[in-house]
Structure 1
């Protein structure tokens, strides 16, 4: 008997009767709930803004206040470079939050799948909902 897959990608598959995730299988009849949450990235945005503003202001202060030549300004440029790199990393994290798909069985067992791309877990949630509806 060939089962119709509502979703199948990598270690995850959804049929009318079974949800398989790596080494665990859940009967669709016992799936209690499924939802998607988005990571809160406000702190990353604040940190990115502070670090990038510091880099810009420090760089401008060095360039505009270069009336007193120093023999070695490499330490200042290293600090500006590092804060810029870390600021860019925090900007990436703020703009690309993780999405968490969580499903729970009636027995209380739950699993979470996390991904930065909503387009990957959105169809999985839809497939689980379709399987729940299809089983009746």
Structure 2
């Protein structure tokens, strides 16, 4: 099941020009993934927007809900996740384009708090 979720995330990331979004159990699908170079210099507001949009894409695919209906909960998720990350986790995200293990745990907590579906 984690593989299915990871594939959903990878698909969403590619569609978004290489942004990472939701937490997953493994970074294996991203091993050959090349993050968007703009992540290196993106503002935190831009990072939040990328995470919010990726969340909406992935959650829409998981729940068959329209992306527009996920604007508020995904905004909650993006804001809460990015505010909880420390500088090393943000730097890892900027470098790799996805959340590392410690950031992934925080992202899962944000999914729960914002009442979004967790990966299966």
TM-score calculated relative to the size of structure 1: 0.21
Which has the greater radius of gyration? Answer: 1
- Relative to the length of structure 2, the TM-score reads 0.23
Greater fraction helix: 2
